[in-house]
Structure 1
Amino acid sequence: MTQPATVTGPGRTPAWRYAIGMFGTSIPINMIKGSMILYYVDILGLDVRAYGAVMVIYAIIDALDNPLLGHLSDRTRTRFGRRRPWLLVGAPMLSACMIAFFSAPASLEGAGLVLWFAVFAILCEAFDSMLNANYGALLPELYPRERDRAVANSLRQGFQLVALVISLAVTPLLTTEVFGTERSTQGFQTTAIVYGAVALAVIVFMALSARERPRYATRERPRLLPSIWSIVRNPLFWTVGLTGACYGIAMALVLSGIQLYVRYALGLPVVNALYLQGVVILVSAAGLVAWTRVVARRGALWTWRIAFAVLAVSFASLFLATDLATGIAAGVLVGAGWSGMLATNDLIVARVLDVDATRNGEHREGLFLSAFGFFSRLNGVVTGLALTSLGLLFGYNSGTDPGADPGLAFRVYLCGYPFVLTAIGAIAARLITVPIETPPEAAEPAGGSAAERPR
Structure 2
Amino acid sequence: MSQPVTVPGPGRTPAWRYAIGMFGTSIPINMIKGSMILYYVDILGLDVRAYGAVMVIYAVIDALDNPLLGHLSDRTRTRFGRRRPWLLVGAPMLAACMIAFFSAPASLEGMGLVLWFAVFAILCEAFDSMLNANYGALLPELYPRERDRAVANSLRQGFQLVALVISLAVTPLLTTSVFGTEESTEGFRTTAIVYGAIAVAVIVFMALSARERPRYSTSERPRLLASIWSIVRNPMFWTVGLTGACYGIAMALVLSGIQLYVRYSLGLPVGDALYLQGVVILVSAAGLAVWTRVVARRGALWTWRLAFAVLAISFAVLFLATDLVTAIAAGVLVGAGWSGMLATNDLIVARVLDADATRNGEHREGLFLSAFGFFSRLNGIVTGLALTSLGVFFGYNSGADPGADPGLAFRVYLCVYPFVLTAIGAVAARFVSVPIETPPEAGEPASPPPPGPGGEPVAPPPGSGGEPVAPQTGDSGSEGPR
TM-score (structure 1 length as normaliser): 0.95
Aligned to 2:348, the other structure's residue is in SS state helix
C-alpha distance in 1 between matches for 2:477 and 2:140:
17
Alignment of 1:86-235 (within 5 A): 86-235=86-235
8 Å Cα contact 2:298/2:479 also seen in 1: no
Q: Deviations over 1:99-118 (max 9, x none)?
A: 00000000000000000000
Q: Deviations over 1:268-317 (max 9, x none)?
A: 00000000000000000000000000000000000000000000000001
8 Å Cα contact 1:319/1:416 also seen in 2: yes
Aligned to 1:311, the other structure's residue is in SS state helix
Post-superposition offset of 1:129: 0.1
Distance 1:242 1:348, change over 3 A: same
Distance 1:411 1:295, change over 3 A: same
Count of residues paired in the alignment:
455
Post-superposition offset of 1:449: 23
Distance 1:415 1:298, change over 3 A: same
Distance 1:402 1:91, change over 3 A: same
Post-superposition offset of 1:63: 0.4
Aligned to 2:6, the other structure's residue is in SS state helix
C-alpha distance in 2 between matches for 1:5 and 1:24:
39
C-alpha distance in 2 between matches for 1:243 and 1:453:
22
C-alpha distance in 2 between matches for 1:11 and 1:423:
43
Aligned to 2:166, the other structure's residue is in SS state helix
Post-superposition offset of 1:441: 4.1
Give the stretch that moved more between structures: 266-275 or 3-12: 3-12
Post-superposition offset of 1:219: 3.3
Distance 1:328 1:448, change over 3 A: closer
Distance 1:155 1:2, change over 3 A: farther
Give the stretch that moved more between structures: 110-119 or 3-12: 3-12
% same residue: 91
Post-superposition offset of 1:11: 1.1
Give unmatched runs, 5+ long, in structure 1.
Answer: none
Distance 1:264 1:448, change over 3 A: closer
Post-superposition offset of 1:218: 2.6
Post-superposition offset of 1:62: 0.2
Post-superposition offset of 1:443: 7.9
C-alpha distance in 1 between matches for 2:149 and 2:3:
10
Distance 1:58 1:338, change over 3 A: same
Where does residue 14 of structure 2 map in the other structure?
A: 14
Where does residue 424 of structure 1 map in the other structure?
A: 424
Post-superposition offset of 1:451: 14
Post-superposition offset of 1:448: 27
Post-superposition offset of 1:438: 2.3
C-alpha distance in 1 between matches for 2:417 and 2:335:
18
Give the stretch that moved more between structures: 290-299 or 6-15: 6-15
Q: Deviations over 1:58-110 (max 9, x none)?
A: 00000000000000000000010000000000000000000000000000000
8 Å Cα contact 1:354/1:436 also seen in 2: no
Q: Deviations over 1:330-367 (max 9, x none)?
A: 00000000000000000000000001000111000000
Distance 1:90 1:10, change over 3 A: closer
Where does residue 287 of structure 1 map in the other structure?
A: 287
Post-superposition offset of 1:450: 20
TM-score (structure 2 length as normaliser): 0.90
Give the stretch that moved more between structures: 217-226 or 135-144: 217-226
Q: Deviations over 1:422-447 (max 9, x none)?
A: 00000000111111242654689999
8 Å Cα contact 1:250/1:418 also seen in 2: yes
Distance 1:35 1:204, change over 3 A: same
Give the stretch that moved more between structures: 431-440 or 324-333: 431-440
8 Å Cα contact 1:5/1:448 also seen in 2: no
8 Å Cα contact 1:87/1:134 also seen in 2: yes
C-alpha distance in 2 between matches for 1:132 and 1:84:
12
8 Å Cα contact 2:27/2:167 also seen in 1: yes
C-alpha distance in 2 between matches for 1:35 and 1:167:
9
8 Å Cα contact 1:7/1:148 also seen in 2: no
C-alpha distance in 2 between matches for 1:143 and 1:397:
48
C-alpha distance in 2 between matches for 1:213 and 1:406:
53
Aligned to 1:79, the other structure's residue is in SS state coil
Post-superposition offset of 1:43: 0.1
Q: Deviations over 1:27-86 (max 9, x none)?
A: 000000000000000000000000000000000000000000000000000010000000
1:452 and 2:479 are equivalent in the alignment:
yes
C-alpha distance in 1 between matches for 2:478 and 2:98:
43
Distance 1:384 1:145, change over 3 A: same
Give unmatched runs, 5+ long, in structure 2.
Answer: 447-473
Distance 1:278 1:198, change over 3 A: same
Q: Deviations over 1:394-421 (max 9, x none)?
A: 0000000000000000000000000000
Aligned to 2:211, the other structure's residue is in SS state coil
8 Å Cα contact 2:59/2:378 also seen in 1: yes
Distance 1:8 1:169, change over 3 A: farther
Distance 1:89 1:416, change over 3 A: same
8 Å Cα contact 1:13/1:210 also seen in 2: yes
Distance 1:374 1:219, change over 3 A: same
Distance 1:342 1:286, change over 3 A: same
C-alpha distance in 2 between matches for 1:172 and 1:3:
63
8 Å Cα contact 2:219/2:362 also seen in 1: no
Higher helix proportion: 1
